[in-house]
Amino acid sequence: MKKETVIKAKRQFIADCTKNLIETAGIDSINMEDIAKASEYTKRTLYVYFKSKDEILLWVFTDDLIQRWNYQKIRIQQKIKGIDKLKEWAYAYLDYCSENSITIPLQNYMDYHFVNLEKVDNEVFSRFEEINTALAEGLRLIFNESLKNKELRFKVNIDLTISQFLYSYRAILQRAFSSQYSFTTIDKKEYVDYFIHSFILGHFKKK
């Protein structure tokens, strides 16, 4: 194997060990010591492959985004109309979160802490930026198609719509999967259905 390939494989291995660690121990308590133990490397070796814990976490987060987007893409390509693609996008995201227990906690962590960019190599950040852009572009395609087909109720600002759909839907998913104190208890599927229903009412013409 080429040296580069070996390095990439080792980085991926360390990231995968970290992912497992997050699944079992939760994301908040993890440190480099734990990651070293889990991957059976010394902390010193770990630092050969990653600059910091933040860099590893961003790598794991990026992996999860890539995997999620691949999962969503397969589902939405089976749909024709923009409105149906958007619904499928949302339900695929919901299903993905149900199947991958670290997705919501990881997203919560990133929403709250993100990472210190000084502790992250450009290359690792670019990898994150790339999938982040791809995810936004995927939604842009759906909304642009809906706009073209006159499915939308008003001339929406696509950038704002994508951003607000993402942020509010994410909050809805976080709430749906949370066990935190609230004034009311909820059913995941019903909760998400209701959000999608009213988002679509707000943005799409009635059939």
Two structure tokens written together for 28: 């908040």
Task: Give me 11's structure tokens.
Answer: 């980085």
Collapsing DSSP to helix, strand or coil, 106 comes out as: helix
**Which residue in 112, 118, 122, 207 binds a second copy (CB under 8 A)?**
112
Using CA atoms, how far apart are residues 55 and 47, in angstroms rounded to an integer?
10
Measure the CA–CA gap between 55 and 62, rounded to whole angstroms.
Answer: 10
| Residue number, 13 or 166, with CB nearest to a second copy | 166
Total number of residues that touch a second copy (CB under 8 A): 41
Q: Residues with Cβ < 8 Å from 51, sequence gap 6 or more?
A: 119, 120, 121
Task: Dihedral sign for Cα 176, 108, 164, 150, please.
Answer: negative
The stretch among 6-14, 16-24, 42-50, 169-177 that binds a second copy (CB under 8 A) is: 169-177
C-beta closer to a second copy: residue 36 or 139? 139
Give the C-alpha separation, 32 to 44, whole Å: 10
Pick the binder of a second copy from 25, 130, 198, 205 (CB under 8 A).
198
How many Å apart are CA 124 and CA 64, to the nearest integer?
Answer: 14
The verdict on 26 binding a second copy (CB under 8 A) reads no
**Contact between 160 and a second copy (CB under 8 A)?**
yes
Range list of β-strands (E), 47-165:
none
* Residue 153 Cβ vs a second copy, minimum distance, rounded to whole Å: 6
Residue 172 interacting with a second copy (CB under 8 A): yes
Single out the residue of 147, 202, 205, 207 in contact with a second copy (rule: CB under 8 A). 202
- CB of 47 or CB of 166, closer to a second copy: 166
Residues near a second copy (CB under 8 A): 108-109, 111-112, 114, 117, 132-133, 136, 153-154, 157, 159-161, 163-164, 167-172, 174-175, 180-184, 186, 190-191, 194-195, 198-203
